[in-house]
Structure 1
Amino acid sequence: MDEWWYALYCLAGVLFFYLVTSACLRGHSHEVDEHVSLMPFADDPAAARRVEVAIGKAVPARAPDARLEL
């Protein structure tokens, strides 16, 4: 009988994870997802231009405010 409780416990955990994840992702829009996917290129203007040419969408590129000094 302990195996059934363990299986039920695991199934409840997976169901909880699914419900929480779907609730969190419900508020996302397609525009937000596209904007977030372009953020890695935003701090490198040259890379942003290459991505703009490749995909045909504007990348909000800007130079970093401060450079790291080693």
Structure 2
Amino acid sequence: MDEWLYALYCLTGVLFFYLVTSACLRGHSRDVDEQVSLLPFADDPAVAQRVEQALGRPVPAVAPEAALKA
């Protein structure tokens, strides 16, 4: 009987994790996800310009000194 109870606890935990994750991700849009994926290139303006030319999407480039002042 304890094995069934343990299995029920595990399944409840997985279901809870799935529901919470799906609720958190429901508010995301594709545009936000694309902008977030371009953030690793934002600290180097030269690289950001090359990525922008390659992808055709604007990269929010910020010089490292300007990011520290904000």
* TM-score, normalised with respect to structure 1: 0.88
Alignment partners' CA distance in 1, 2:65 and 2:19: 40
1:65 aligns to what SS in structure 2?
helix
2:60 aligns to what SS in structure 1?
coil
Deviation of residue 64 (structure 1)? Answer: 1.1
Deviation of residue 46 (structure 1)? Answer: 1.1
Who is 1:17 aligned against? 17
Q: Which amino acid aligns with 2:35?
A: H
Alignment partners' CA distance in 1, 2:35 and 2:13: 32
Unaligned runs of 5+ in 2: none
- Alignment root-mean-square deviation, CA: 1.1
Structure 1 runs of 4+ aligned residues shifted over 3 Å read: none
* TM-score, normalised with respect to structure 2: 0.88
Q: Give the count of matched residue pairs.
A: 66
1:35-62, Cα deviation, whole Å (9 max, x unpaired)? 1111111110111011112111111112
Unaligned runs of 5+ in 1: none
More helix per residue: 1 or 2?
A: 2
1:1-70 maps to which residues of 2 (within 5 A)?
1-65=1-65
